[in-house]
Structure 1
Amino acid sequence: MTTLQPRSPYSDAELAALYPPTLELQRVQILLRHGERTPVNARFKNTGLPVHWPYCEAARNFRYVILSADRSWDTLHWKRRLETFGPNDAPALAAGPNGEVDSVCQPGELTDRGRETTLALGQRTRNLYVDQLGFLPASLDAASSHTIYLRSTPIQRALESTQQAFTGLYPPASRAPDLQPPSIVTRSFQDETLYPNEGACKRFAQLSAAFAERTAELWNDSPELAYVNKKIGKWMPKESPIVKVDSHPRLSGIMDTINATLAHGPATKLPSEFYNKQVVANIDRICTEEWFVGYQESNEYRKLGIGGAVGDITQRMVEHVSGKAGSGSDAGGDFKLSLSGCHDTTLAATLTALGAFNALSDKWPNYTSSIAFELFRRKDRPATPVTSSTGAIWPSKEQTWWSSLFSSSSSPPTTSPSARTPIHDMSTSERGRLDDYFVRLRYNDRPLTLPFCQQAGRHLEGDEGLCTLAAFKEAADSFTPKNWKAECSMNLGEPGLRPVVERPPGL
C-alpha cells in the first residue's frame, strides 16, 4: 500500500527456472510506478499534519537549459522557494515543520525517498539483466545506445522516476564520455494513454463516475466504513463529517495522505488511529474496488482505460518479431529494454484487464511497483533480422538534436501493417511469425500466470507463466481500441453500468 519491500535477488536455481537455456530473452518492457511523493492535496491540517513537507532536496539543485546572449545553450543552476499566504494575506515563504525553506515540496512531488527507491529499482534491474543474465551491456556507448528506450507520462514525478531508474540501471560511470544525452519520450496530456486518462477521454470519465457511484452505494453504510469512522471520523471537516467513498476528502484522498505519511519521516505523521491495521485494510479494500473493478466487469472500461497502453506494448513485441521494430512513429528502435514511468492506476489497470489482479482482494500497488513484460524466443528459431534502429534514445554522434530538425528525410515512417492488426485478421504468414515466441509478466519480481494462457496450446509446455505471443496478443486485442480518441467520444450519455458482466480474457 505504501513503500515497496523488494524481494532478494533471484537465486541460481530460480534463474535457471525462470530463464531456461532453451529460451532466449529478446526484449523487456517495464512499466514502473513513480516513487514516494507528497500528498496531492493538503488534508487533515487539524491533526497537526504540516502543509509543507521538507523532503525535496532537489529543490536546491535545479538546472534548467537557458539561451545565452551569444545564442549558445547553457544551464542555470537555481534553487526553488515556495511562497504562500502569511498573516493578513501578506506574502510569506513556505516552510517545513522545522523552518526549512530550501527543500519544501510541491503537492504530489517526488520526494528524496521516492528518488532513492526508484534509483534502487534501476539498480535491481541492472543486477538482473546485466550482472546475472548478461542480457544488457555493462556500459553504454554510441554503438549500444539504442539498447534502452525511455518513456514517461507528462506528470513530473513519473518523469523524474524514469530518470532515477535509468541512472540506477546505467550510472554515469557506465556511460561513455561522448555519449549523447538520452531521449525520454512523452506525450501531451490529451494524447496520453499510459494511464487511465479521464481528463482526455469523456466516455471513460463517465464510466469511472458510474463505478465510483456504485461503490459508494455499496460501502457508505457498511460495517467496514463504520469502523473507519469510529477511528478517524473526529478529524473529518465539519462540512463533511462522515468518512464515505464520496466524502470530502474522498476515501481515496484519505488513503493518499495515509500512504504518503507512512512513507516519510516522523515530522509528517497523522495520529496513530489512521494507521490502525483494520482502518488501513478497509480503506485499501474499498478504494481498490472503486478504482479498478470496472476493468473486471466492462470491456469498454478496459479499452478506454488501459487498452491503448497494452496495445502499444503488444505492438512493439510484434514489430520486433516481424523485423520491423522502429518502423512505427513511436517505436523507439529495436531496443532491448524500455522503462516507462507511470502510475499506480497504470499498473493495477493493466493487470486487472489481463485477469492477473483481483480488485476485490488484491492490494493497491506500492510506490515504485513495476511490471516487466519479457519476450522470449525458442533458441532453435532463426533470429529475426532487424532492419531499423530509428528512434533510439540517443541520436548518433553525427546528428545533433539541432540538425535533426532540418533532416532531409523525405517522409515519416509508416506503422507496420500487422503491428496493430488483430490476430484473427492477420494473414497466415503474419501469424506464423509469432510462432515460438513467448511472453511472461513479472509483477514486483513475482512471475504471473494470465488466465487466458492457462489453456493447452496457449503457453510453453510445462510452464503456464510463459504465454505464447499469439495468445498474449489475442488477449490484448480483445480490449485494444482501434481509435482511442474516436471511441472516447462514443456512447456519451449511455449507462456506464451494464446488466451483463464482461470478464477479462480467460476468466
Structure 2
Amino acid sequence: MTTLQPRPPYSDAELLELYPPRLHLQQVQILLRHGERTPINARFTNTGLPAHWPYCNAVRHLRSAVLGPSGPGADPDVNTFTDVQWRRRLETFGADDAAVPATGPNSDNQPTLDGICDFGMLTDRGRETTYALGTRLRKLYVDHLGFLPASINNADFLYLRATPIPRALESMQQAFLGLYPPHTRAADFPPLTIVSRTPADETLFPNDSNCRRFAALSRAFANRAAERWNDSPEMAYLTKKLGKYMPEDSPRVAVDGKPRLSGLMDTVNSTLAHGPATRLPKDFYDPKARSIMDKIAVEEWYAGYKESEEYRTLAIGALLGDVVSRMVSSAERSVPLPDEAFAHAPGQAKPEQAPTSKSKSSSSRRMSDNEDDDDGFRFGLSGCHDTTLAGVLASLGAYNDKAWPPFTSHIAIELFRDAENAPPSSSSSSSSSWWPSFLRTASTPSIGRTPTPSLTDKQKVSMQGYFVRLRYNDEPVTVPGCKLPGNHLAGDESFCTLAAFKAIVDKFTPRDWKQQCRMNTKAPAFPQKPEPAGF
C-alpha cells in the first residue's frame, strides 16, 4: 500500500513479446490509484506523530472561477468569468475549543502554517509519482508504440474521468500532465473535458455509501474476518508489538478495533511514503507485523470478490460493464483497413524486427497527430482508488497472493485487433456492425451491455479477431477463464478473446445497479455454494 517501485522500462525483446506484430493496439483504458496521501484520520498522535502534515504545497497555488464585471470601464451589466488566486490555511480546535491555525513540522522540525495537508489529501510526493506514471505511459504508448500522437491540438480522443474525491482527480490530472506536458500541446489547446459523477451515481469505486446491499455484504465479510483473526496468533503478535501505542480504552489490535486494523495499516503506509518528520516508532515498521497486517486487511476487504457473484456485481460490476461496453463499441465501429493503414513510419521496425529505442512497435497502428480513433476515444485515464484496482483484479480471479495496491498503482486494459484473423469486410456477409456509423440503421443494434447469451450471431461475429489484455503495474495479468481452450491467443493466455472476456464480465454486470442496491438488504450475505471469480 505504500510507494510503488516501478519496474524498469521494457526492453526491446520484452516489447516485441508484449506487443506481437500480428496484434494491433486499438484502445487502452487506464485505471490508476491516486498517489501518496496523508492518512484519512489523525492516529497515534500519542507517539509524537503530527496530526497535520506539511507536504501539500498545492494549497499555496489555488484558483477559483469567479463571475463579475469584465474590468474597469466595462458595462456593469455584462459579467464574465475570471479567476481569483488564493492560498488556504487550515484551522482546527485549540484549548477550550478556541480556533487555532493548524501547523505541521517543516524540514527543521519547526512549526509551519503553509503547505498543511488536510486528511486524505494528495501530497507533493503523490503529485510527483502520478506525474511520473504519466511520463511512463507516454514513453510506452507514444515513444515506443506510436499508439498515441506525440503532440495534440485537443483531447477529443481521450476519456478522462475521476471519482468525486479530490486526490483521485488531482492524480489523474498529474498523470495527464506527464502524458502530454505543455510543450506537446497546441498554443490554443482547449480546456480538458473531465467526466465526473455525483456520489450517488459513482461506480468508479465500490460505493458502499450509496449501495445499501453492498454495504451489508461488506460488513458481513469484515465481521467474518474479525471472527477468524482477532484471536489468532498473528493478531497476538501485532498486539505484542503495537498494543502499547493503542488507545487505553482499546489496547488490543483487532480487525474491528479502534483504530481498525486497516486504519492502522493506512497510517503505517502513509508515514513510510513521506519524510522523517512524520514517522512512527520503529515497531510499526517491523516486517513481520506489516506482512500480517497486509494479509488480514486484504482478506477483510477483498475476499468477497472471490467468493460472491453478488459482491462482485454490486461493488465493481458496473465499472467493468462500462469498460467492456467501450471495448465492444470500438470493435463494432471498426472498419477493416487496407494493409497500408498499418504502414510503418520512417525508422519504425518491420513486423519481424524487435523495436529499438528509436523505433515504434509494429503492434500498433501508426497514429498521426490529432487523428481520432474510430469510436470517438482511443485512450482512457480514470483516477480512482486502491479498492477499485483490487476489486477489478479480484473480480476477475487475478488477485491471488497480491499485496494491497501501492500508491500510484494502475491497471492498463488493452484492446487488440488480430491482423491475421481480421473479421470480414462490410461487403461480405459479415455483421453490419462493421459498417461505418453513418451507414448503420436501426436494424443494426449495438451490443452495449447485452448479455452474451442474448447476442445474435451477427453481433458475435463483430467481436471476432479481438483480444483483451490487462497489465497491473506493468505486469501482464491472466484471467482464469481465459485459459480455457479457444478463449485466448494461441501461445499466450494473457491475451483473452474479447468474446470470452465479455462473457466473464457479463456474469456480474448489473442490469439495474441502483435497483439491485436496494434489494435483499436483509438476505444472507454468503452464497450457499462457491461462486469463484474469473470464469
After TM superposition, is the score higher than 0.5? yes
Q: Are the aligned partners of 1:34 and 1:158 in contact in 2 as well (CA < 8 Å)? A: yes
1:41 is aligned to: 41
1:347 is aligned to: 389
1:81 is aligned to: 89
2:522 is aligned to: 493
Distance in 2 between residues matched to 1:73 and 1:168, nearest whole Å? 28
The alignment's C-alpha RMSD in Å is 1.8
Distance 1:416 1:213, change over 3 A: farther
Distance in 2 between residues matched to 1:242 and 1:497, nearest whole Å? 28
Alpha-carbon deviation of 1:73? Answer: 1.1
Alpha-carbon deviation of 1:84? Answer: 1.1
Q: Which moved more, 1:26-35 or 1:332-341?
A: 332-341
Distance in 1 between residues matched to 2:375 and 2:485, nearest whole Å? 34
Amino acid at match of 1:72: T
1:269 is aligned to: 279
1:396 is aligned to: none
SS in 2 for 1:67: strand
TM-score (normalizing by structure 1): 0.91
Distance in 2 between residues matched to 1:201 and 1:168, nearest whole Å? 35
1:467 is aligned to: 496
Distance in 2 between residues matched to 1:261 and 1:478, nearest whole Å? 40
Q: Are the aligned partners of 1:319 and 1:416 in contact in 2 as well (CA < 8 Å)? A: no
Amino acid at match of 1:456: P
Alpha-carbon deviation of 1:233? Answer: 0.5
Matched, 1:379 2:419: yes
Partner deviation per Cα, 1:172-205 (whole Å, 9 max, x = no partner): 1111011111111010000001100000100000
Q: Specify the structure having the higher radius of gyration (Cα).
A: 2
Amino acid at match of 1:8: P
Distance in 2 between residues matched to 1:114 and 1:477, nearest whole Å? 35
Partner deviation per Cα, 1:131-169 (whole Å, 9 max, x = no partner): 000000001114xx3221101111100000010000000
Q: Which moved more, 1:81-90 or 1:460-469?
A: 81-90
SS in 2 for 1:65: strand
Q: Are the aligned partners of 2:334 and 2:374 in contact in 1 as well (CA < 8 Å)? A: no
Distance in 2 between residues matched to 1:183 and 1:100, nearest whole Å? 36
Distance in 2 between residues matched to 1:176 and 1:45, nearest whole Å? 49
Amino acid at match of 1:99: P
Alignment match of 1:91 (pick from 87, 99, 102):
99
Alignment match of 1:100 (pick from 112, 115, 133):
112
Amino acid at match of 1:124: R
2:3 is aligned to: 3
Q: Are the aligned partners of 2:24 and 2:418 in contact in 1 as well (CA < 8 Å)? A: yes
Distance 1:386 1:92, change over 3 A: farther
Alpha-carbon deviation of 1:416? Answer: 6.2
Alpha-carbon deviation of 1:492? Answer: 1.2
Partner deviation per Cα, 1:25-56 (whole Å, 9 max, x = no partner): 00000000000000000000100000010000
Distance in 2 between residues matched to 1:289 and 1:283, nearest whole Å? 10
Matches within 5 A, 1:21-420: 21-70=21-70, 71-97=79-105, 98-142=110-154, 145-323=155-333, 334-358=376-400, 361-380=401-420, 381=422, 387=437, 417-420=446-449
Alpha-carbon deviation of 1:221? Answer: 0.3
Matched, 1:435 2:443: no
Q: Are the aligned partners of 1:146 and 1:333 in contact in 2 as well (CA < 8 Å)? A: no
Q: Are the aligned partners of 2:329 and 2:446 in contact in 1 as well (CA < 8 Å)? A: no
Q: Which moved more, 1:65-74 or 1:191-200?
A: 65-74
Alpha-carbon deviation of 1:324? Answer: 8.6
Distance in 2 between residues matched to 1:63 and 1:385, nearest whole Å? 46
Distance 1:489 1:152, change over 3 A: same
Distance in 2 between residues matched to 1:386 and 1:167, nearest whole Å? 33
- Matched residues, percent identical? 56
Alpha-carbon deviation of 1:417? Answer: 4.0
SS in 2 for 1:32: strand
Q: Are the aligned partners of 2:153 and 2:186 in contact in 1 as well (CA < 8 Å)? A: yes
Distance 1:18 1:283, change over 3 A: same
Alpha-carbon deviation of 1:89? Answer: 2.4
Distance in 2 between residues matched to 1:85 and 1:301, nearest whole Å? 40
Which ranges in structure 1 are unaligned for 5 or more consecutive residues?
Answer: 326-330, 389-412
TM-score (normalizing by structure 2): 0.86
Distance in 1 between residues matched to 2:66 and 2:136, nearest whole Å? 35
Distance in 2 between residues matched to 1:174 and 1:386, nearest whole Å? 31
Partner deviation per Cα, 1:79-115 (whole Å, 9 max, x = no partner): 0001112233222111112211110000000000000
Amino acid at match of 2:385: H
Q: Are the aligned partners of 1:123 and 1:168 in contact in 2 as well (CA < 8 Å)? A: yes
SS in 1 for 2:104: coil
Count of aligned residue pairs for this structure pair = 472
Distance in 2 between residues matched to 1:132 and 1:146, nearest whole Å? 22
Alpha-carbon deviation of 1:69? Answer: 2.3
1:391 is aligned to: none
Alpha-carbon deviation of 1:420? Answer: 0.3
Amino acid at match of 1:338: G
Alignment match of 2:473 (pick from 426, 429, 444):
444
Alpha-carbon deviation of 1:378? Answer: 1.3
Q: Are the aligned partners of 1:34 and 1:341 in contact in 2 as well (CA < 8 Å)? A: yes
Amino acid at match of 1:51: A
Distance in 2 between residues matched to 1:3 and 1:416, nearest whole Å? 46
Amino acid at match of 1:248: K
Q: Are the aligned partners of 1:373 and 1:439 in contact in 2 as well (CA < 8 Å)? A: yes
SS in 2 for 1:107: coil
Distance in 2 between residues matched to 1:448 and 1:103, nearest whole Å? 39
Q: Are the aligned partners of 2:225 and 2:255 in contact in 1 as well (CA < 8 Å)? A: yes
Partner deviation per Cα, 1:299-353 (whole Å, 9 max, x = no partner): 000000100010000000011111199xxxxx99621110000000000000000
